[in-house]
Amino acid sequence: MAEVRMTNVKKNYGSVEVIPDLSLTIPDGSFSVLVGPSGCGKSTLLRMIAGLEEVTDGSIHIDGEDVTNAKPSDRGIAMVFQSYALYPHMTVRQNIGFGLKLAKTPKDEIDRRVDEAADILQLGPLLDRKPRQLSGGQRQRVAIGRSIVRKPKVFLFDEPLSNLDAALRTQMRVELAELHAKLGATMVYVTHDQVEAMTMADQIVIMKAGIIQQVGRPMDLYNAPENPFVAGFIGSPKMNLIEGSIASARKSKLVGVRPEHIDVSPDAGEWEGTLRYAEHLGSDTVAYIDSEVAGSVTVRLQGEVAINRGDKVFMTPRAGNIHLFRENGAVERA
């Protein structure tokens, strides 16, 4: 278990600046998720922690030790890759025990630790199979087993669930969260999926163009986004960000209201609009409403709501849940 501390880390590829200047602390034992759109530098950051990418400038400390220039194997980390990166010519047992074998661990000790990891991940019956004989979810577990067995200080995950189907992804999300609770190790997890971030993280780090936009607990980011990017990134459907007269009436550059924080009425309300399309999900109804004053607005209504294309509706943002993004960068709730 260990804290990961990055201080003024920079990364350039030739003349291209990927990470201009980044400082971040990942607390001991936390499950931290780096999230952001493609190309925001989150994977690069993870790979720098792993030692697979050189740091152009700045320093990285793991458990108080400066590992900026250390070899990946000397950092006390383990990494799970998007493609799982299992050795196709080795059995599951050999895959999991490979790192230990290289470290010249005695054979009994390797077997014991592989069995232990297999127990945790329910891989026992699969130990003699080759990766190609496993399903996606099983491969994922083997990749995690390979990490566990090394007893690393820090686990690194690079979009590990993106190759799985939706149902399996949900299941693995729960398994990973349980694993974290069981092992209590520091985990750093990269994803572009904000749902994964919200459901698994103790701490979310939102990045854009190599710059950290906000760091905090999932609900803090949901309730108090510090800028329009974070506001739009966290939450599904996305927060409505409204410009124009509505914003200027509130002395703001932008007004943000989450779809679940807008009430809809057929008779009266603050903004008038016409229903363009409605998604009926059973538990919720997501309505896309065109409004002359507010533009295109998304509203989430609880339960099944009878509403049809072309219906005239009135929307009212709930007090206390309106985010005002001021010209000077300040954010207030109203």
Partner 1 sequence: MQQGSLWQKWIHDDRLRMIIIFVPPAILVFTVFVMLPMIQAGFFSPWKWSGYGPAPWAFNEATDATFGRWVGERNFDRMFGHSAFQQAVWNSILVIVVSLLIQLPLALMLALMIYRTSRANTIFRLVFFMPYILAEVATGLIFAFALDGNYGLSAWFSQMLGLEEAWFPLAEKPWAFYAILAALVWKYFGFHMMIYIAGLQSISSELLESAEIDGATTWQKAIYIKIPLIWPAITVSIFYSVLGALQVFDLVMPMTAGGPSNSSHTLVSYLYNFGFIRLDVGFGSAVGVFLFVTGVVFALVYRNTVQKGQ
Closest CB 189 distance from partner 1, rounded Å = 16
Closest CB 167 distance from partner 1, rounded Å = 25
**With binding defined as CB under 8 A, does residue 98 bind partner 1?**
yes
CA atoms 199, 227, 232, 158: torsion sign: negative
For partner 1, what does the binding mask look like between residues 26 and 55, x meaning CB under 8 A?
Answer: ------------------------xxx---
**With binding defined as CB under 8 A, does residue 310 bind partner 1?**
no
Decide the pairing of beta strands 65-66 and 77-80. Answer: unpaired
- In a 10 Å sphere around its CB, with 0-12 CB exposed, 13-18 middle and 19+ buried, how is residue 282 labelled? exposed
Decide the pairing of beta strands 57-62 and 4-13. Answer: antiparallel
**With binding defined as CB under 8 A, does residue 162 bind partner 1?**
no
**With binding defined as CB under 8 A, does residue 88 bind partner 1?**
yes
Nearer to partner 1, 82 or 321 (CB): 82
Closest CB 205 distance from partner 1, rounded Å = 22
Contacts of 16 (CB under 8 A, 6+ apart): none
How many C-beta atoms lie closer than 10 Å to residue 257's C-beta? Answer: 25
Nearer to partner 1, 76 or 295 (CB): 76
Q: What are phi and psi of 72, to 5 degrees?
A: -50, -40
Closest CB 84 distance from partner 1, rounded Å = 8
For partner 1, what does the binding mask look like between residues 58 and 87, x meaning CB under 8 A?
Answer: -------------xxx---xxx-xxx-x-x
Q: Which stretch binds partner 1 (CB under 8 A): 95-103, 186-194, 218-226, 263-271?
A: 95-103
**With binding defined as CB under 8 A, does residue 99 bind partner 1?**
yes
Tell me 260's DSSP state.
Answer: G
**With binding defined as CB under 8 A, does residue 13 bind partner 1?**
no
Decide if 180 contacts 187 (C-beta within 8 A).
Answer: yes
Q: How far is CA 39 from CA 36, 42, 45, 211, 270, in A?
A: 8, 8, 11, 11, 39
Which one among 11, 139, 146, 300 touches partner 1, defined by CB under 8 A?
A: 146
Closest CB 102 distance from partner 1, rounded Å = 5
Q: How far is CA 187 from CA 63, 65, 158, 244, 267, in A?
A: 13, 17, 11, 43, 51
Q: How far apart are CA 275 and CA 273, in angstroms?
A: 7
**With binding defined as CB under 8 A, does residue 219 bind partner 1?**
no
Nearer to partner 1, 26 or 50 (CB): 50
DSSP per residue, 104-148: T--HHHHHHHHHHHHHHTT-GGGTTS-GGGS-HHHHHHHHHHHHH
Q: How far apart are CA 218 and CA 201, in angstroms?
A: 7
Nearer to partner 1, 51 or 216 (CB): 51
Which one among 89, 217, 276, 312 touches partner 1, defined by CB under 8 A?
A: 89
The residue count for binding partner 1 (CB under 8 A) is 22
Q: Residue type for 59, please?
A: S
**With binding defined as CB under 8 A, does residue 150 bind partner 1?**
yes
Nearer to partner 1, 12 or 73 (CB): 73
**With binding defined as CB under 8 A, does residue 14 bind partner 1?**
no
Q: How far apart are CA 183 and CA 102, in angstroms?
A: 24
Which one among 23, 69, 103, 128 touches partner 1, defined by CB under 8 A?
A: 103
H or E stretch at 102: helix 92-102
Closest CB 75 distance from partner 1, rounded Å = 9
List residues binding partner 1 (CB under 8 A): 50-52, 71-73, 77-79, 81-83, 85, 87-89, 98-99, 102-103, 146, 150
